[in-house]
Amino acid sequence: MRLLKTVAALRCFVEMARTGLNPIDGDDRTQPGQPMSTKAHQTITIGLVPTMGALHAGHGSLLAKARAENTIVILTIFVNPLQFGPGEDFDHYPRHLAADLVTAKAAGVDAVFAPTAAELGLDRELVQVVPPAGLMAGLCGRSRPGHFTGVATIVTKLLNLVQADRAY
């Protein structure tokens, strides 16, 4: 399993996987940089599981489904400051990367992308994704203005970076 902290490393990992080269150190399928041992007729697929970390059984079920359905599984761990409003618990949100990496490895994850906010460009002027008004008016949208815009903005960034075949 690879721990990736930069967009450049993530792009390199995805490009290697898409071209059929093994991007994974210590993978028992093949050596890194060598052709993956997929059947000639098998298409390489990438599954993306975006999270904020603090992995639990619910995440585990998503990871198991992703592992069963894809050649490569990428887990993202990013505590998204955009989805927290003033006075919310951003500073207290649990961050246990070491434990999350153990869980990810046990689940068969191929790569964990754990960027900083600056790495995702949150320190620069940001283009935000605004979900439909109906979505923002329901659930916790009424009591947490900006929450769904923050979620949609980061998840869109992750989807665009990975270009996954499936997201969970």
Active site residue ranges: 59
Tokens of 141: 């949208």
CA dihedral angle for residue 94, residue 96, residue 99, residue 100, rounded to 10 degrees: 80
Helix axes 97-106, 57-69, angle to 10 degrees: 40
User: Is the distance from CB of 25 to CB of 13 less than 8 angstroms?
Assistant: no
Type and span of the H or E element at 75: strand 72-77
> What DSSP designation does 20 have?
T
User: Is the distance from CB of 80 to CB of 150 less than 8 angstroms?
Assistant: yes
Tokens of 22: 């093994």
Which backbone phi and psi does 26 adopt, to 5 degrees?
A: 70, 15
Which backbone phi and psi does 101 adopt, to 5 degrees?
A: -65, -40
